Structure 1
Amino acid sequence: MIIKSKIAIYARVSTDEQTTEAQLHDLREYVDNRGWKNVREYIDEGISGSKDSRPGWNQVWDAIQKGQINTLVVHALDRLGRSLPHLVKIITTCIERNITLISFRENIDLSTSTGRMLAGLFSVLADYELSIIRERTRSGMRSAKARGSQIGKKPQYFNKRRATELRDLGWGQIRIARELGVGVGRVNQWVHEEYIPKDQRECG
């Protein structure tokens, strides 16, 4: 019988020159003082928090999704999320799954009213950060448009003369699109709206 690990410790350092031992010492002492047993440790060493994939954290997240964790203890919140919105996503998931998230350094415990209040504050700040990013993006696009810069993907050139030659040879739309390096939808539109078969052109 496999015993699910309900208490999880997660520690991370960004470079190989650092070590997780200081974090683990504090976290082990913390869970021991709480009398918690059945503790499993997850560690990422020499891995930046900005990375989307972190082996140790991936295991934690998988255990969370499978309901194998009810308490997650970290040394600091910056050990978790690669950005504020990402951190809020983690906190929100913990709240939705009734997982107690504890941050040792900030003395945050999501099982308390103060911890839940701070979680709400993080959510507001994350929304604010995203709104700033969106506004900067829109502002940048407006500035680029004013300078005459191309916004979005540059339209692909469609050589209608060559397409007509290939179509006259009996080529299908997919083959023509591949040959000319354009989308099949563009070729389909041209065939239905503009292309005139060779025999009809000669009759005309």
Structure 2
Amino acid sequence: MIHKVAIYCRVSTADQSCERQERDLLAYAERAGFEVAGIWKEIASGSKDQRPERRKVLALAQDRRVDAILVTELTRWGRSTMDLVQTLHDLQAWNVSLIAQTGLQFDLSTPQGKLIASLMAALAEFERDLLRERIRSGIAAAKAKGRTFGRKAGERPKADRLAPKVLHLLEEGRSYRFIARELGLSPTTVMGIAHRHRDTI
């Protein structure tokens, strides 16, 4: 039985507002007779991992301080099909539902909820396969055009760029550890630059 809910609103850009989502979800909660525990709003692209307000809502769910999370659409909550499936399973473990304003309710303790979760898991796997295929195709196309991937053997871009500064500091009598800290290198890299320089003298 759902009594207390958390309202989660998200927009993608700063020129958008959560006002409509908040208004619609409050009205939905009132019609359904839910008690609103709070409203969490944030501006974040759907693909971004960093969503602090969503993490707060999930923490609330994990502590079982709410019975459900209200969103206007599933796309406001999930970053991808995979992410949606994962969070649904987390919510199931905490006995918390995810409810979209459209009326979709994901309660994985019911046969209907389990069926939907299974279909979504299959879609998530399909999404992963498509992504892997796109990556492989992109790499193959780039290689066909002569592009190389990764660092070539013997290449040390950062070390070679900073070698003159390293040598200058060594001449001033600075230690490997000091130079490494000063230039953002490892002591081993500094030592390697020094050794290569000595070999060329």
Query: TM-score scaled to structure 2, two decimals?
Result: 0.68
Structure 2 residue aligned with 1:28:
30
Q: Deviations over 1:43-69 (max 9, x none)?
A: 427x355253264x3431221233322
Structure 1 residue aligned with 2:190:
187
Q: Is the 8 A contact 2:88 2:106 kept in 1?
A: no
Structure 1 residue aligned with 2:63:
66
Is the alpha carbon distance of 1:170 and 1:148 closer, same or farther for their aligned partners in structure 2, counting shifts above 3 Å?
farther
CA distance in 1, matches of 2:44, 2:163: 53
SS in 1 for 2:147: coil
Q: Is the 8 A contact 1:9 1:41 kept in 2?
A: yes
Which residue identity lines up with residue 175 of structure 2 in the other structure? G
Structure 2 residue aligned with 1:77:
74
Structure 2 residue aligned with 1:19:
20
How far off is 1:125 after superposition?
Answer: 1.3
Which residue identity lines up with residue 72 of structure 1 in the other structure? I
Alignment of 1:29-178 (within 5 A): 29-30=31-32, 32=33, 38-44=35-41, 47-48=43-44, 50=46, 52-53=50-51, 55=53, 57-110=54-107, 111-152=109-150, 155-156=156-157, 158=160, 162=164, 170-177=173-180
Q: Is the 8 A contact 1:75 1:103 kept in 2?
A: yes
CA distance in 2, matches of 1:194, 1:123: 54
Identity, % of aligned pairs? 25
How far off is 1:118 after superposition?
Answer: 0.7
How far off is 1:115 after superposition?
Answer: 1.2
Which residue identity lines up with residue 101 of structure 1 in the other structure? L
How many residues matched? Answer: 186
Which residue identity lines up with residue 147 of structure 2 in the other structure? S
Q: Is the 8 A contact 2:8 2:69 kept in 1?
A: no
CA distance in 1, matches of 2:187, 2:144: 32
CA distance in 1, matches of 2:137, 2:30: 48
SS in 2 for 1:122: helix
Q: Is the 8 A contact 2:18 2:41 kept in 1?
A: no
Pick the structure with greater CA Rg: 1
Q: Deviations over 1:129-179 (max 9, x none)?
A: 122222222322233233333424684152798566765765433445567
Which residue identity lines up with residue 118 of structure 1 in the other structure? I
SS in 2 for 1:69: coil
Instruction: Quote the RMSD (CA, aligned, Å).
Output: 3.8
